[in-house]
Amino acid sequence: MKLKPLEEQVVALMGASSGIGRESALRFASRGAMVVVSARNKDGLDSLVGEIQNRGGKATAVTADVTNFEQVEAVADRAAEAYGRLDTWVHLSAVSIFAPFDRTTPEEFRRVVDTDLTGQAYGAMAALPHIKREGQGALVHVTSVVARRAVPLQGAYCAAKHGVDGLLETLRVELKREGWPIGVTNVMPAAINTPFFDKARTRLGVKPKGFPPMYAPGVVADAILYAAEKAPRDIVAGGAGKGLILGQRLSPGLMDAVMLRGGFESQMTDEPKSTDDPDGLFESMQDQNRADGDFDNQTLHRSLVTWLDTHPAIKGGALASVALGTAALLKARW
């Protein structure tokens, strides 16, 4: 699928005030794209727009909660109004609670699913009419590796991400049947060092964290920008995440054993945090207007696996060289 180069695109990003969304918006703008950024946090959006404009980029902010379809629709409409069209929709908004399933309330579970699954559906519903009007474009939905392999202590989050994976499978086939050149990409990050863990509600008694190793937000942002131009079916951001998904394909039972042995304590820090402490589950959380989280000393800033996946010509050449070398070695030995 041949889509517009980034410098000719209008891109809307949901969940852009912090984390991966913020880093992605900055990178889109630096490549010449016109961006519309959205989140619940107005202060975070204003600071992001200011940063983009100070660097010479073009950006517009629209405050929205993705659980409200009319607010999501207003983001897509604003993109068309401000820049004349919408080419790429990037959906990143997500919330979570870290707790055993039997300590998660119905209200908390519903809020996670409303934001992380229904919100993604609302995004596609709002964006598609504008993208179809342009004649081509991309839907880039950011889920997680837990869309393919669930983990303990995040039941609601894993359920929602699995749901998005199913939604995208359906949407992709329907658009192909209708003949639309519209890419539908599932970007699945491994654990990423963002303020997500500060914003998550917890009943673990401590601040949560991601499975090691963690990666920098830029690893995912690079995958998102690649998806906006090349529209792969899916892409995993972070080699460890690709290993997790491969393990699930090969032996779900073995992965159950891995999770049982190491999937609990590895998601816990030593920093006390109670359920009464501020979180971003139902309301936006202030003072988190940054891309990076608090785990710099545990973060990998590059992923060779992801880089190769976003440079398929080089990857293909490398694989061909390995195959030829192996064949020559075997021939010499025989």
Q: Give me the catalytic one of 83, 157, 215, 226.
A: 157
CA angle 63, 281, 19 (to 5 degrees): 60
CA atoms within 13 A on the CB side of 103: 13
Query: Is 122 designated active site?
Result: no
Residue pair 195/280 in contact (Cβ under 8 Å)? The answer is no
The strand pair at 182-189 and 214-215 is best described as: unpaired
Distance CA(261)–CA(50), nearest Å, equals: 46
Which tokens in the block code for residue 305?
């696996």
Beta bridge partners of residue 61, listed in sequence order = 37
Helix (H) or strand (E) holding 184: strand 182-189
CA-CA-CA-CA dihedral for 32, 35, 41, 46, to nearest 10: 60
Which residues are known catalytic residues? 157
